[in-house]
Structure 1
Amino acid sequence: MDTQFLHAAEQVIGKYSLQAENIFLLSYTGKKVIWAIQAKSGEFILKKMAISEERIRFMLHAIDYLTGNGVYTPGIVRTPSGEGYVTFEDEHFVVFESVRGRSPNYDNPDDLLKIVAGMAEFHNASRGIEIPDGTEAACHLGEWKAVFQKRYGELVQWKEQIAKAKNRTDFDRLFFEHVDVFLDQCRESIHMLDQSCYEQWVAVARYIKTLSHPNFDVENLTIADNGNLYVHDMDSLSIDLPVHDLRKILNQVMKQRKEWDLHLFLNMTKAYQEMHSLTKGQYFVLTADLLFPHLFHDQVSKYYQNRPPKWTELKHISRLKDLIATEISKEKVLRSFLNRLDEVVLHG
């Protein structure tokens, strides 16, 4: 282990009553660092946080609020003086309890429905949360249209650049061949959002807040040995409409299958609806978000912005081909979904 990382972890753990026996570096991504701690009293996770103290304080408040309303998430280990985080060399660290279990699998129908139901329960449990003085929460309410327009503009700009390029890569040619289809999706998505109840929903959500967990996927979930679903990575919480998370998990699942599956889509939304009831108008907002080519834009932006830098041209091309097929297949499925909303929303 890098001695600098080990020194920081040892200094931080020394402020707790844990009596660490072994410290293992699990991951290092930018400013975020994660260690596994083996102590006499059990196993723990130490995280160097990549967010401000105000955001950390909101995260601690949110964890208390969510667990008080039935959400399972690793507990916060506090210092002997009761602090929920430690500051060392101007960096902030939090220790979490470790949860024994397994990662859920999207290909396992029971696991998938447990994830969707867990997401719905998470949204229910977060309803009505406040932002205490001295804390800060990321808030994305009302930002969707601006985000869509920005991403649309980026696709247009890349198209114009490729049109003028004398030497095109294979990726350039693949992008240029299909970009007009996705520009149409962008425009239709923005039009749908304008025609939806999005603004009215946002106005209500500013008063009755709901938390969004934008990374509610298998990497941040554990099915514990007792069968409960535990949610990790609470430092990414924000205030937003709950269907933002639903859009992301649907895209995650469908891109693994390479094309959209209407039957699966209906089953997932029905499972969500059983736990967290939405109106037809709110599902129309979800559909507008799903129609936007987020997956296509994300992959293209990775290539043109050199993220991640170690990816080969062939890997970028292979991934883009798969996502093009996924994004094109969804249009028919989304239309069918809107025609069958009565199956999801049984009343009203």
Structure 2
Amino acid sequence: MEQYLIVPWDTRSGSEPTPVDWDMQVPPEIDAIAELVMKQYDMTVSSRTLITSKPDKGGAIWRIETNKGPRSLKLLHRTPERSLFSVGLQEYVVQQGARVPALIPAKDGKLFVEMGGKLWIVTDWIALTPATKVDLVGAQELCYGLGEFHRHSKGYVPPFGAKNSSRLYRWPNYYQKIAKKIGWMREMAKAYRDTVASASILAVVDQYERQAIESLERLKASAYPRMASMGEPYWGLVHQDYGWSNGQNGPGGLWVIDLDGVSYDLPFRDLRKLITSTMDDMGVWDTTWMRGMIEAYHQANPLDAESFEVLLIDMAVPNEFYKHLKEMFFDPITFLNTEAEAILQRVVATDQSKAQALADLAKDMSKYKPGSYEPKPVAVEATRVPSETKTWDQKSWGLQPQQKQSSESVASAVSEENTESMAGAVSKEKKAESFKVVKKKAKEETKQEAKATDKKGKKEKQEQEALSVVKPAKRVAVDSREWAPEDSNRKKEEKEKAPSPQKAGGRKGTASNVIQLQPSGKAPSNKAKQTVAPAKKKAAAVAKAKPNARKKSGALASKAVAKPAALPKTKRKAVKPAVKKPVKQTPKAALGVPSAGNKTKRAAQSKSKHSFTKVAAPSKKMNNAVSGKPNAKKGVKTKGVR
């Protein structure tokens, strides 16, 4: 059952009808998870009643009867990280003395249970009654309770791992959005001129667009930029959905409930929404009501002159016009032909008194003391210092890792299981993804290196096969001197395969093999004799340059140098037998003029030296590259978890 992930349950593919009224029910899977959640608490539940359901979002509230009194069980529809932000705030304001339902800890000590991919909370059931809506007294009670809540939320810093929610810096963007979309309304009305409300919208849209643009300019010229620079904890949080249903009278005063949508913002944004929606319901902008509501809020959470000015600017924005008419973007023909005309006429009639009411309120500016807002660097704003009144126990506020994990992610989680900080837990998936990318990259580089090594080995093998064709020439003293400085391993192999000079000198007819390198019937030229001296000089130079060469290489070189002393005599005595002895034993490729043969051997020698250098040095470089590259790739970004 824990593998079931909760999603909105009123969605259906295509035009498939909803089988039941989900506002009064929840799917059986949700009921089953609710039973499991209640078992995580130290209580015995006798009954559970669904109070409200949010099928389009995936949330619900039950009243449960327990052996410890009536309680509330709530399924938070947002992501666990986002819900952790609001749960932390609820615990914080309770400790500050706010009238907010206190969270009841589960058996593991946490103030929530994570199940079905969502957070669940349990609180005591508070007997509440709505504030009166028919007179100013009820509105003032609502505003005073809102001010208390805002005051208690100041200084809040969420637990580690919570997803931050803030609208503090988005005011100019919000004003721009309203101005732009009101412009879209004009284009929609032009595009659907045959609809009922088209002409009425075109008659007033320019006026409302102008109001939005003027409000944006006033906001930029106000103290708003300096106020926002004070940072999020300085101002605290707004409820965002505060109204007559979420602020109700209870024991000791007005209680604030349903906090799962809280966000950082200038706190009087909640007050503005409450005032403008009340004026819209009343059908007139009543200065008495507006002033009474602002003063009640001011008593609980004092306003300064700058805050009062920004509040007036926010009320001047055509919020109600935009809120009611934006429905045309979803189904323009239906909306413009049915509801739009009546809504527009009511909004326009209400706004007839708006400008005068705001002008009267502006006269109250002298009642409020000026604030002190010294601009702070952005870096200071981004650094959050936890409140002195609240320190979070990271173990009690940690979320479960995501259920869907790759094998690399699991391996990363195992290697970091001793990490207790919430920040470390949240970054595990990102680390695993980075490790996966680096591992894949290293694997590809290893394959490429293996291919290069195989290619290099094949090349060396081909060179050795090519050299094996002229192996008989190794018995010539000149050839031995030419190859003496080469790789000791190759010399050792050649020494094992070729007959030793002592055995060669002891066999009858060996000298004929040497003479067969010359054209048949011709004596060796002077060039062959001249090559002996350069070979001696070369061997001596190599001996000086490499004093630490192996003894075997030195011995082999000395033997090769010592042999040519008998060469002139051997050549002249063996001229005649050379014609009779087997020409087949010597490959035709080895026959030729000595000078040409020397050139061929020198070319092979330079090629061998190049390959020797290429094999020895790059092997270290490639090892360094393989070991260093994964570290260089640690900064690679990979999409994760939030």
TM-score, length basis structure 2: 0.51
Q: What is the match of residue 285 of structure 1? A: 310
CA distance in 1, matches of 2:346, 2:145: 28
Deviates more, 1:204-213 or 1:261-270: 204-213
Q: Is structure 2 residue 368 aligned with structure 1 residue 345? A: yes
CA contact (8 A) 2:91 2:103 kept: no
Q: Is structure 2 residue 229 aligned with structure 1 residue 203? A: yes
Residue 299 (structure 1) shift: 0.8
Q: What is the match of residue 164 of structure 2? A: 137
Residue 183 (structure 1) shift: 1.0
Per-residue CA shift, 1:40-65, capped at 9, x if unaligned? 32222222212222222222221222
CA contact (8 A) 2:80 2:118 kept: no
Q: What is the match of residue 136 of structure 2? A: 109
CA contact (8 A) 1:212 1:242 kept: yes
Q: Is structure 2 residue 275 aligned with structure 1 residue 275? A: no
- Paired residues, number: 343
Q: What is the match of residue 71 of structure 1? A: 98
CA distance in 1, matches of 2:255, 2:233: 28
What percentage of aligned pairs have identical amino acids? 22
* Aligned amino acid, residue 368 of structure 2: V
Give SS of 2:72's match: strand
Give SS of 1:340's match: helix
In structure 2, relative to structure 1, the CA distance for the partners of 1:313 and 1:125 (3 Å cut) is farther
Q: Residues 11-22 of structure 1: matches in 2 within 5 Å?
A: 11-22=36-47
CA distance in 2, matches of 1:328, 1:149: 24
In structure 2, relative to structure 1, the CA distance for the partners of 1:128 and 1:92 (3 Å cut) is closer
CA contact (8 A) 2:198 2:336 kept: no
Residue 138 (structure 1) shift: 0.5
CA distance in 1, matches of 2:229, 2:207: 33
CA distance in 2, matches of 1:48, 1:327: 40
Q: What is the match of residue 6 of structure 1? A: 31
Q: What is the match of residue 529 of structure 2? A: none
* Aligned amino acid, residue 222 of structure 1: Q
Residue 282 (structure 1) shift: 1.6
Q: What is the match of residue 324 of structure 1? A: 348
CA contact (8 A) 2:175 2:213 kept: no
Q: What is the match of residue 298 of structure 1? A: 323
CA distance in 1, matches of 2:338, 2:44: 48
Per-residue CA shift, 1:157-176, capped at 9, x if unaligned? 121122132432x2334333
The gaps in structure 1 that reach 5 residues or longer are: none
* Aligned amino acid, residue 273 of structure 1: H
In structure 2, relative to structure 1, the CA distance for the partners of 1:209 and 1:284 (3 Å cut) is closer
Deviates more, 1:2-11 or 1:249-258: 2-11
Residue 292 (structure 1) shift: 0.6
Residue 306 (structure 1) shift: 5.0
Q: Is structure 2 residue 299 aligned with structure 1 residue 264? A: no
Q: Is structure 2 residue 217 aligned with structure 1 residue 213? A: no
CA distance in 1, matches of 2:176, 2:230: 24
In structure 2, relative to structure 1, the CA distance for the partners of 1:151 and 1:329 (3 Å cut) is same
CA distance in 2, matches of 1:295, 1:54: 32
In structure 2, relative to structure 1, the CA distance for the partners of 1:104 and 1:165 (3 Å cut) is same
Q: What is the match of residue 182 of structure 2? A: 155
TM-score, length basis structure 1: 0.90
In structure 2, relative to structure 1, the CA distance for the partners of 1:217 and 1:339 (3 Å cut) is same
Residue 314 (structure 1) shift: 4.6
Structure with bigger gyration radius: 2
Q: 1:239 aligns with which of 251, 264, 272?
A: 264
CA distance in 2, matches of 1:173, 1:70: 54
Q: Is structure 2 residue 60 aligned with structure 1 residue 60? A: no
Q: CA RMSD in A?
A: 2.3
CA distance in 1, matches of 2:125, 2:162: 26
CA distance in 1, matches of 2:243, 2:125: 18
Give SS of 1:18's match: coil
**Which structure has the highest strand share of the two?**
1
Residue 88 (structure 1) shift: 2.2
* Aligned amino acid, residue 87 of structure 1: E
Q: Is structure 2 residue 116 aligned with structure 1 residue 92? A: no
* Aligned amino acid, residue 264 of structure 2: I
CA distance in 1, matches of 2:214, 2:41: 54
CA distance in 1, matches of 2:341, 2:312: 27
CA contact (8 A) 2:100 2:255 kept: yes
CA distance in 1, matches of 2:349, 2:74: 38
Name which structure has the greater RCO, CA cutoff 8 Å, separation 6+: 1
CA contact (8 A) 2:197 2:337 kept: yes
Q: Is structure 2 residue 360 aligned with structure 1 residue 336? A: yes
In structure 2, relative to structure 1, the CA distance for the partners of 1:323 and 1:97 (3 Å cut) is farther
In structure 2, relative to structure 1, the CA distance for the partners of 1:24 and 1:146 (3 Å cut) is same
CA distance in 1, matches of 2:140, 2:101: 21
Q: What is the match of residue 51 of structure 1? A: 78
Give SS of 1:60's match: helix
Give SS of 1:82's match: coil
In structure 2, relative to structure 1, the CA distance for the partners of 1:248 and 1:196 (3 Å cut) is same
CA contact (8 A) 1:209 1:239 kept: yes
The gaps in structure 2 that reach 5 residues or longer are: 1-24, 372-642
CA contact (8 A) 2:99 2:254 kept: yes
Q: What is the match of residue 278 of structure 2? A: 253
Per-residue CA shift, 1:83-121, capped at 9, x if unaligned? 222222223222222110211123233222111111111
Deviates more, 1:2-11 or 1:107-116: 2-11
CA distance in 1, matches of 2:153, 2:114: 28
CA distance in 1, matches of 2:335, 2:212: 27
CA contact (8 A) 1:212 1:245 kept: yes
* Aligned amino acid, residue 216 of structure 1: Y
